[in-house]
A and B are shown apart, each in its own frame.
Chain A
Amino acid sequence: MTSTIGTRMTMVDGRERVTGTIDYAINIEKEGMLYCKAVRSPYAHAMITEIDTEWAEEVDGVVKIITFADFKDQDEMTPVFGAVLKDQLIVAEDRVRYVGDIVALVVAETWEAAEEAALLVDVDYDELPAVFDPVEAMADDAPRVHDLSEEKIGQQYYKIRPKFGTNACHHFRLRKGDMDGAWAESDHIVERSYTTPAAAHVPMEPLSTVAYFEDGHLYVETGNQGAFDMQKDMARMWNLPKDNVHVIVPSMGGSFGIKMGIRTEAAAVAAAWLTGRPVKCIFRYEEMFITINRHPSHVKVKMGVKNDGTLVGKQVTIHYNTGAYADSGPGVAQKGGFGSIGPYNIPNCHVDSYAVYTNTPPNGAYRGYAVTQVAWAYENMMDELAEVIGMDPVEFRMKNIIGDGDAYATGEIMHDSHYDTCLKAAAESVNWGEPLEPHPEPHIKRGRGVAVILKGTSTPTTSDGKLEVTADGRIIMHQAAAEVGQGARTVLAQMASVALGVDPNNIINAGTDTTKSPYDHRTSSSRETYMVGKALTGASNELADKLKQHAADQMEVDAADLILQDGYVMVQGAPDSKKALGEVVKDAGEESFSGFDSFTNEGGVSPDDGQGIASSHWHQGACGIQVAVDTETGRVELEKFHGVVYCGRVINHLTSDLQTHGSMIMGFGTTFYEAIELDEGQVTNPNLSDYMIPSILDVPDCMSHDLLEVEGADVHGLGETMVPIVGPAVNNAIYNAVGVRIRDLTITPEKVLRGISGQ
């Protein structure tokens, strides 16, 4: 079998996926299983004065109604969790912090009984003043969502910098150069503010976990992107040795970040712990909209530039609304903080990036993590600045674009940089520089725009991989990358197959169980093909060597003359000599042979000055857009929609194309339609009729992309790259067409028309 690297191999689980035979977490059933449903707060901020469960308990089939009283006065477990700050309880103690906060859990023999009883749990509240906007939440007199104390934070949370006395749970700073000098040196100083709304992830599969205890072991079968984070959390919460916590992760029906961190897991485990039976907890579709969304943001940018287009200084103040619980907010503030400079050389930079509590549903990881918000700001700003100095926006970007050997704002020296190539390709895709033919309809105006992106991958992190050949000839891949539908299992099997010369379809994926699987940091920041792929490549090389050594002894030949092909080892040029891999293992008197490798990307930045290595390498891309704007309605059609994604090396062209289509369409949806609407903290569009995502009919026919490869380069993740830059590229094109600049996502026809008509 020749290597499949760089082919369009179909997904190893494609058939199962489209024929509906994958066992998703939501389909898992266990003998004697109960169902768990959350009872949620209708208030954004309130004290709970009484919970009356009497009526609910009378519903047939109800087994238990869990309130905070069940966790009081016991020391078996700790009912608090949180990705970074432990600020969330399984059920509220005496205070609710958002509309949707969980106040009780109903556990019943059937889902229907749990649903019915949930409506009958009677809770009395005393309302408290609430705050919904992250900037307002920073005011001295704003209601406080949590009371973070110095002692608690200082000891527990390395690298977290809350601003005590405010709602900021993390303050990330980046300091480089001298700002006073920068402003003095600038010919023009421009200040602008931009905002982005919350957005929903909308995976097809809702959130679901089945949990049960057996002989002192805890089993958590769940759709989650961070199996080992979960194992650590559950071990901590239930006071168990880590080895007794089995987090088992089946294939998922999409995630986009919603299945990162604790969602249904803590409730399911708590219910299993209190009832002694297996429990399935489901957060249904409408509940996903109030469980976790994308951080809304306010981004204030001040930039100094010289007349010749040289960038001198940049000051950024970011407020990410992390909602009622921190979740991954501190991480978002950090990654958006250092990401907010963009792919440009700017000698003086100053960033204050805050994750701020408010009384809205919590916000967390979302495809395009932290960067959608800041790229919206920086790529709009680049066009605004170009106009101020009277320079072409592409030329202006080119003049300042970062390249190999340049120091980024974090101080790290850039390598493997291709921002200029990406930008050039995006500009060419819309015939930049050539005259634009007017639209045949006089009320429709055309315009063009571009945007470029720099996005980090989590650093430092570790991934392990193990490959095994058994005496009965099975080849088993052990790894813990989550399959969310992105094709991880396919590309990883491809990479693992190379050294063994086998068909990736014949590699069995062992599945994820944290007590057996090799370690993996988590499936985030488009890191798995790069990280786990590297570990598995090393593992398969080691295994291939081992097989050759043993075969050489068994066949009495020189190991250097052996090759591995199609499941056999053979002397090069003498196919008759072939011996099945399983036979080699068997003849060595072993049950199996395996190879193992571990890969760590090194780095990290300081939260106090943002200096260090933010990303072991960077995700890079650009977008070229041509719009046609109907000046009577403000409706925008895309006439050209081109993505350029730097991949280093493409492992699989099919899945890479699909990921890029997906990220472009998600970028399109979050540019034009997708915003969580809040009224006094309550989500008013928690369904797919009111919260619209693009349908296939909305995807512009003109959508196209390039995947940029460089001989010998590292594999770069590509799953998120396009999401953040569709918005600013579209907005720049709209400005080019009709002179309207929208600074608050989303771009609606109404906002465009208001701009055109000066309303």
Chain B
Amino acid sequence: MADFEWLEPQTIPEALKSAGELGEEAKLIAGGTWLAIVLKQGLLMPSALISLHNIDGLNDVRYEPGVGLRIGAMVSLTAAEKSPVIEKHFPELAYACRVVANVRIRNQATVGGCLCDADYASDPPSMFAALGARVVLQSQSGSREVAVRDFIVGHYETTIEYGEMLTEVIVPERNPSTSGVYLKYRTRSHEDRPCVGVSAIADINGDGVCQGLSIAVGAVANTPQLVDDVATLAVGKQLDAPLIKQIADGYADSIEPLSDIRGSSWYRQQMIQVHVKRALTQLGGVS
């Protein structure tokens, strides 16, 4: 590992100042679970690391009526998984954090880090994308919000700019008739990253009619995959077995999965079909 300077800003403006001044020379470091590996492998050699640990206000989780859930960038995955606020409003999000790696990683990894590293083989990002979450990016010159589905643009690639920092994630408020599910499918150990991760959110009214459906499939391509024209097939209809099959097939057909050590493209295609089907069946599908 090459030498680097270690900075510990105490406030967001201080951190933004350092990040703005150092630009490409510096990397922000949150839990370090991703960064430490790439530093060790010599894939990145920043001359400075800006630690976000001592900054107040990045660790909050709160629900703001009219807006939704606000999760600070430095909230650890353990804290997210155990947060009563998240559990109350978005239990499927708490679950998607709970199934990441193992307790050692979750204690260290952060919500901001898991979105910014943009590793395709991840769990929470597809859930954030399915929930229509937005990230708040701040820099010395101001602040902007970007939908998670537009934020992650490739493997290890986001639209964040040098000098910008992710400060929080906002999960928008939703109808009380909405519920969600996350299915993590692993082909190896329980501690493995997903082969396929399906995040499905459905708004189903009292008559069993679907008013909205959002499905994001993670770990199968460079970015979480949302196939809107297939998901919207459900709107105004009951989620019965033929419709579920149609949507599951539609997702499998629309996505061109990658191959890796956890499964080939062919296999992932099958697993998308199976797990979209299972997710929708769990979401109150009528059989």
Contacts and interface: CB of A to CB of B under 8 A. Distances in A.
Interface stretch (A171-179, A504-512, A532-540, A686-694): A686-694
Interface string B10-37: 0000000000000000000000000000
**Interface on chain A toward B: helix, strand, loop, or mixed SS?**
loop
A757 B275 CA distance: 17
B42 A685 contact: no
Contact of B266 (A677, A689, A748, A759): A759
A50 interface: no
Main SS of the interface on chain B? loop
Interface string A369-402: 0000000000000000000000000000000000
Contacts of A672: 188
Given A633-B274, A750-B267, A753-B267, A697 B190 contact: yes
B80 to A, nearest CB: 20
A644 to B, nearest CB: 26
A753 B188 contact: no
B42 A748 contact: no
B192 interface: yes
Contacts of A748: 187
A119 B102 CA distance: 33
Nearest to B101: A689
A2 interface: no
B261 A694 contact: no
- Of the four ranges (under 10, 10 to 19, 20 to 34, 35 or more), the interface on chain B belongs to 10 to 19
Interface in A97-126: 116, 119
Contacts of A119: 42
B274 A632 contact: yes
A727 to B, nearest CB: 15
Contacts of A633: 185, 270-271, 274
A695 B274 contact: no
Contacts of A685: 261
Contacts of A612: none
Contacts of A695: 102, 189-191
Contact of A692 (B189, B267, B274): B189
A58 interface: no
B184 to A, nearest CB: 13
B189 A690 contact: no
Interface string B243-287: 000000000000000000101101100110010000000000000
**Considering residues A677, A693, A695, which has the most beta carbons from chain B within 10 angstroms of its beta carbon?**
A695
Contacts of B191: 692, 695, 697-698
A460 interface: no
Contacts of A635: 187
A693 B263 CA distance: 17
A662 interface: no
A54 B267 CA distance: 50
A215 B72 CA distance: 64
Interface string A671-685: 011000100000011
Contacts of A693: 189
Nearest to A748: B187
Interface in A728-756: 748-750, 753-754
Nearest to B268: A750
A56 to B, nearest CB: 15
A692 B266 contact: no
Nearest to A119: B42
A632 B191 CA distance: 22
Interface string B215-251: 0000000000000000000000000000000000000
A672 B192 CA distance: 13
Given A119-B42, A695-B102, A750-B263, A673 B189 contact: yes
A714 to B, nearest CB: 38
B258 to A, nearest CB: 14
Interface in A612-665: 632-633, 635
Contacts of B190: 695, 697-698
Nearest to B186: A635
Given A119-B42, A685-B261, A690-B261, A673 B188 contact: yes
Contacts of A673: 188-189
A612 B92 CA distance: 65
Nearest to A757: B270
A678 to B, nearest CB: 12
B196 to A, nearest CB: 9
A315 to B, nearest CB: 35
Contacts of B42: 119
22 contacts: A119-B42, A633-B271, A673-B188, A673-B189, A685-B261, A690-B261, A692-B188, A692-B192, A695-B102, A695-B190, A695-B191, A697-B189, A697-B190, A697-B191, A698-B189, A698-B191, A748-B187, A749-B263, A750-B187, A750-B264, A753-B270, A754-B267
Q: Which 5 A-B pairs have the closest CB atoms?
A: A697-B190, A750-B267, A692-B188, A673-B188, A695-B191
